[in-house]
Amino acid sequence: MRLYIIRHGETEWNKVKRLQGQTDIPLAEEGIRLARETGVGMKDIPIDLVISSPLTRAFQTAQLLTEGRDIPILTDERIIEISFGAWEGECILDSEVLPPDFRRLFYEDPLHCICPPGGETFSDVCKRTGAFYQSLLNNPDYAEKNILISTHGAASRCLLTQFYEDKNDIWRGGVPKNCAVTMVEVLGGVGTVVAKDRLFYE
């Protein structure tokens, strides 16, 4: 099994650094362009199946990337973005609502980041994305498949902890760029990252 894990294209909230979480924000024009260009760049890569977060920005990315190709797209709630609860829509740069230490902890020590009211912790997201990955491993129909996984910044990084011995370094260099693709080869039930944050657009 080979996995192509992609972060969705850019949204208007991405541009201004708002916490999107599970708020359903569509792609901006630039996000549509990036997704289409990524699809062109990946046109020669065989993809058997797409599994997307149900949020519009991820599903749109999956649709645009596979435009003109007869590839089924499924959705799975377990790869939806981290929930920021009551803080969704707040700007991480200048919010008067977010705790003073939130931004630093979010980027530098996410496993100890303050949990938003009604939201999730990074540990929560690691658990559900881990359960998603195990469901792929346990499905014999997927053993030889090339699967595109269209998801989000934090959710994709939490999913990637499945493939590293160090489970504490969530970001591994930072939030992935929009439409960055990480490739994972799964052999004998063991997943190995073979390319990280590859960009297929100019």
- pLDDT on residue 142: 97
CATH code for position 36: 3.40.50.1240
Compute the distance between CA of residue 200 and CA of residue 134 in angstroms, rounded to an integer: 28
Catalytic residues: 8, 81
Mean pLDDT across 155-183: 97
**How many distinct structural domains can be found in the chain?**
1
Residue 111 falls inside a structural domain? no
pLDDT tens-digit readout, 86-126: 999 999 999 999 999 999 999 999 999 999 999 999 999 99
Domain housing 68: 2-82+121-198
Q: What is the pLDDT of residue 202?
A: 77
Taking the model in full, what pTM does it have? 0.97
- What whole-number distance in Å separates Cα of residue 161 and Cα of residue 167? 5
Positive or negative torsion for Cα 121, 123, 127, 130:
positive
Residue 42 included in any domain? yes
